Amino acid sequence: MNQLFNQTYQNKKVLVTGHTGFKGSWLSLWLLLLGAEVVGFSLEPDTDPSLYRELVLEKKLTGIIGDIRDKDLVESVINKHKPDFIFHLAAQPLVRRSYSEPHLTFETNIMGTVNILEAVRKSNLKCVIVNVTSDKCYENSGNACSFSENNPMGGYDPYSASKGAAELVTSAYRNSYFNPANYGINHKTALASARAGNVIGGGDWAEDRLIPDFVRALSKEEDIIIRNPHATRPWQHVMECVSGYLHLAAKLNENPAKYAEGWNFGPDKNSVMTVEQIIQKSLELWGTGMSSALQVGKAEPSGSSLPLRSGNYKIISDKNMKEAAFLSLDISKAKEKLGWQPVYDINQALEKTISWYKNYYFNKADSFEFTKQQIEEYCSNYAPSFP
Ligand SMILES: NC(=O)c1ccc[n+]([C@@H]2O[C@H](COP(=O)([O-])OP(=O)(O)OC[C@H]3O[C@@H](n4cnc5c(N)ncnc54)[C@H](O)[C@@H]3O)[C@@H](O)[C@H]2O)c1
């Protein structure tokens, strides 16, 4: 594990914004396992349960609770901690919420990005930055295709537009202040952006996301509601995109001029499934092996909040909220130029995800150890090239 990413992160100071969130918690834990000193900057976790609390990360890293929209605070954090690496994940990440709170979404996702980049610009720090945006940053005309990095930015709904705009901000800062051609001459910042697809994995309890909604419904013995059964998404396990961020930043650190651009991190083509297929497969996995899980588990089956049942799902469409029917990412650039590649296919990603929740609700083995083991197992299958 320590040998991964060329030991880039060992004893390095790494700022993770959004460290209390789903992806941020996985990334922070992985960085800690790689020997990094992690500083986190976010709001308090806004779900209960939360992965951040489950992993007791507040005891393992320097966590700063603050608002990314507060530019003076962001500046003071960067000046005080002088990170070698910044992974910027703090965002309002939900499409449905962006419809009801567009101002908050634009301010957090766009000005939050400006605040980070501006603080680094003013500090003249030697730093590698990965700005995490989304597959939704691309203009989606509705013609089913796979987006590659040179497709135009866009965004139909406020969330997607905010991520498209965050990409434009990143590109403007890179052209104007952190130009790769001038690295080492008038700046020391290597800036790239990472566009990942729909992420699944243990420990996500956010609203309006498929797997968290699935787990919540089963826990309340309610039907699972799905809104866009035929929508396809580039589903990937959270470790895939996190490995992409870590891999990209390590490459940027080695060669700041070569990799300072936008990168897609998604699954292989065979991992694109419809929402309905994901639910059907998850229901299958939820039932499979459950009785043995209960037998070996420390929890009393009767005391568990999740009864053994197969569950039903209902399709309820929401005509007020438009979401793209088809999203897919072309990841050939990351494969060819970074030497990065996904490890799990969709079936393995779902199996790891559902087994995480089954452990949480039934077996109750320590979540920190369970998550750490999942990362270690992933790493043992990870074979990136670091020329
Ligand atoms: N989960 C996905 O499927 C997915 C897909 C593509 C891109 N992304 C992007 O990945 C990043 C992380 O997403 P996630 O799934 O972990 O979401 P999450 O909701 O679990 O975490 C969001 C994090 O951002 C922080 N945050 C939100 N508003 C903030 C503010 N005003 N100030 C400071 N911190 C703030 C939260 O405290 C939290 O730590 C986001 O940028 C999101 O847009 C997520």
Whether residue 290 lies inside any domain: the answer is no
Ligand 1 and 67: CB distance under 6 A? yes
Mean pLDDT of the chain: 89
pLDDT tens for each residue of the chain, 387 residues long: 666 898 999 999 999 999 999 999 999 999 999 999 999 999 999 999 999 999 999 999 999 999 999 999 999 999 999 999 999 999 999 999 999 999 999 999 999 999 999 999 999 999 999 999 999 999 987 776 789 999 999 999 999 999 999 999 999 999 999 999 999 999 999 999 999 988 999 999 998 899 999 998 887 888 888 888 888 888 999 999 999 999 999 999 999 999 999 999 999 988 778 899 999 999 989 885 443 333 222 233 333 444 445 567 888 876 666 665 667 899 999 999 999 999 999 999 999 999 999 999 888 889 999 999 999 999 998 876 554
Q: What are 189-218's pLDDT values in tens digits?
A: 999 999 998 899 999 999 889 999 999 888
Q: How far apart are CA 315 and CA 208, in angstroms?
A: 14
Q: What are 223-238's pLDDT values in tens digits?
A: 888 888 888 888 999 9
Task: For residue 180, give every residue at least 6 positions away whose Cβ sits within 8 Å of its Cβ, in sequence order, or none.
Answer: 174, 190, 256, 257, 258, 260
Q: Which amino acid is at 312?
A: N
Q: What is the pLDDT of residue 173?
A: 98
C-alpha 101 – ligand 1 centre gap (Å): 15
Ligand 1 and 90: CB distance under 6 A? yes
212: preceding bond cis by omega (within 30 degrees): no
Ligand 1 and 24: CB distance under 6 A? yes
Whether residue 289 lies inside any domain: the answer is no
Domain around 162? 4-280+314-380
Ligand 1 and 166: CB distance under 6 A? no
C-alpha 22 – ligand 1 centre gap (Å): 7
Q: What are 57-81's pLDDT values in tens digits?
A: 999 999 999 999 999 999 999 999 9
Which tokens belong to 70?
């507060």
Q: How far apart are CA 112 and CA 18, in angstroms?
A: 11
Q: Which amino acid is at 332?
A: S
Could you tell me the CATH number of the domain that includes residue 33? Answer: 3.40.50.720
Whether residue 304 lies inside any domain: the answer is no
Whether residue 302 lies inside any domain: the answer is no
Whether residue 303 lies inside any domain: the answer is no
Which tokens belong to 260?
């300072």
How many domains would you assign to the chain? 1
Which tokens belong to 342?
């996904």
Q: How far apart are CA 25 and CA 242, in angstroms?
A: 10
Q: What are 326-361's pLDDT values in tens digits?
A: 678 999 999 999 999 999 999 999 999 999 999 998
Print burial letters for 259-278: b (CB count within 10 Å at least 16), e (below 16).
Answer: bbbbbbbbbbeebbbbbebb
Ligand 1 and 199: CB distance under 6 A? yes
C-alpha 288 – ligand 1 centre gap (Å): 31
C-alpha 163 – ligand 1 centre gap (Å): 12
Task: Give the global pTM.
Answer: 0.93
C-alpha 93 – ligand 1 centre gap (Å): 5
Whether residue 118 lies inside any domain: the answer is yes
Whether residue 29 lies inside any domain: the answer is yes
Task: Among 55, 147, 199, 271, say which to mutate for ligand 1: greatest number of ligand atoms within 8 Å of CB.
Answer: 199
Long-range interactions of 169-173: CB distance < 8 A, separation 24+: 169/110, 169/113, 169/114, 169/117, 170/113, 170/117, 170/131, 170/133, 170/262, 171/262, 173/117, 173/121
Whether residue 288 lies inside any domain: the answer is no
Q: What percent of the chain has pLDDT over 70?
A: 89
Q: How far apart are CA 134 and CA 166, in angstroms?
A: 10
C-alpha 92 – ligand 1 centre gap (Å): 6
Which DSSP helix (H) or strand (E) runs through 17? strand 13-17
